[in-house]
Amino acid sequence: MFDNRQNFVNSAGISYTLSGIDLHDLSDIRGTIFHEWTHVMEKSILQASELTSDDIVHIDGDSKYINAMVDNSQSMQDFGNYIANVNNLISSNATITFNGISTIEINQNKNPHNRIMHNQISEGATEYIARLVTEMVGDKVIDPDRYKTQVDFVRKIFESLGVDEALTTYFTAPHKLISKLENMKVKDTDVLHYLSDFVDFAMMN
């Protein structure tokens, strides 16, 4: 067994361990490859001129969510300037990078470091898609509890939108899927970030 166990600490200060794959188990190898393949495939690079400012930055109350970043930008940490110039950005010839439906939340009232990553729903989408491929090749899912909450949410979202359509949008026009979820409300919060907060809370407890 190839075991590359590594210990990490997330943004909330919670420690966790990631382990390697079992090279003696073909199903484990396939599942891991499908998962990582999806991570590569979910990266979409679009022309800024094809997007609207709302596709790139979403504002909800005190929070501003950056849905995508300028490709190869040297000022990716300068979120205030990025947000202020988003209208100029969409009239430029810049390329914009989306990483699945991951977003960055800027809200100093919630985070003193002024940055919260919302990537667990996107991670759930990655694992959900990997499982679809695994099942299509007639293999078994080795660890059904892995990303269970994230996968359950994503399954419901994709099934409600239509799996084929949701998959196509996820890989080719993620901004449309992000916008759809950001424009749906639950408990006065948009669906995407409500679910992201829910999963982040569950992971910390």
pLDDT tens, position by position, 56-79: 999 998 899 999 987 655 555 678
pLDDT band per the 50, 70, 90 thresholds, residue 5: very low
Edge to edge, the sheet with strand 57-60 lists 57-60, 63-66, 103-106, 116-118
Do 51 and 43 meet the contact criterion of CB atoms below 8 Å apart?
no
Q: Are 102 and 117 in contact (CB under 8 A)?
A: yes
118 vs 153: CA distance, rounded Å: 14
**CB 97 within 8 Å of CB 45:** yes
172's enclosing H/E stretch is helix 163-172
Residue 6, pLDDT above cutoff 50: no
Neighbours of 149 (CB within 10 A): 16
- Which sequence spans correspond to the domains of the chain? 6-204
Q: Which helix (H) or strand (E) holds 8?
A: strand 6-9
45 touches 96 (CB < 8 A): yes
